[in-house]
Amino acid sequence: MQLNPGDRIINTRNELTNNYGTAGGVVKDGNGNLVMLTCFHCVFTSGMFWTDRDPNDTVSAVSFSIGNGYTSAGFVEQTQLDDRVDMALVRPTTGHILNTNIPKVGKTNGLRFLGENDKGIVQLKKYGATTNETTGVFDGFIPQFGAIYPGETSFHYLDKLIKIISPNGRKFADQGDSGALVLDEKNRVAGVIVMVGGNTSYAIQAGIIETRLNVTFI
């Protein structure tokens, strides 16, 4: 079975809740293995701890969408939640293959580092499990933004997130798109969707993800 970027992804224990996220894209972990990148809160479940970087096998099974349902096809290899990132690496189980092509986008092409001079100029795109293919414009950085994750009661705050707006009035991302890669016009990865607020979407910077998780975008 092929596991695709843009698929719905969820902890196997949570399938009935349908609080899914997006399988963002394929990266290389610190050992050179290909793994699927998504947000930690998309594959979190009871029995896990937000501080646990190596979840126990009994709670780490992950399911991917197949048609209108799910099939268990991977496990959480590594997680990281701090003031800058909310990420998880998912390794496929035997018999499952990772597809490196993002629907409507294609393959990624390294990193894009955004700066304040790019505000209002750089066009961005993503493919998420909820809103599929959308385009938007880089709107600078926000010093801090927080949200209450499904099943939680307190806010999680992240610092210096990328802000993205959609000039056509359509949301760039919505609930369920967390984990989707954000790319520029040359398919360079700028970030990963993590939160939404109104018509503004927020993404973790890709360079920080590489550093904190010791991964490489391909």
- In tens, the pLDDT along 163-207 reads 999 987 789 999 999 999 999 999 999 999 999 988 999 999 999
Question: Are 120 and 213 found together in one domain?
Answer: yes
The predicted-structure confidence for 12-41, as pLDDT tens digits, reads as follows 999 888 889 999 999 999 999 999 999 999
Band the pLDDT of 51: cuts 50, 70, 90.
Answer: confident
Question: Are 208 and 143 found together in one domain?
Answer: yes
Question: Are 142 and 179 found together in one domain?
Answer: yes
Own/partner contacts of 142-148, CB < 8 Å, gap of 24 or more, are 142/202, 145/195, 145/197, 145/202, 146/195, 147/195, 147/197
CA distances from 194 to 73, 138, 160, 182, 191 (A): 23, 15, 12, 11, 9
Q: What is the CATH number of the domain that holds 52?
A: 2.40.10
Question: Are 127 and 63 found together in one domain?
Answer: no
Residue 169: what pLDDT?
78
Q: What is the CATH number of the domain that holds 124?
A: 2.40.10.10
Question: Are 199 and 133 found together in one domain?
Answer: yes
Question: Are 91 and 126 found together in one domain?
Answer: no
Domain containing 186 equals: 116-217
Q: What is the number of domains present in the chain?
A: 2
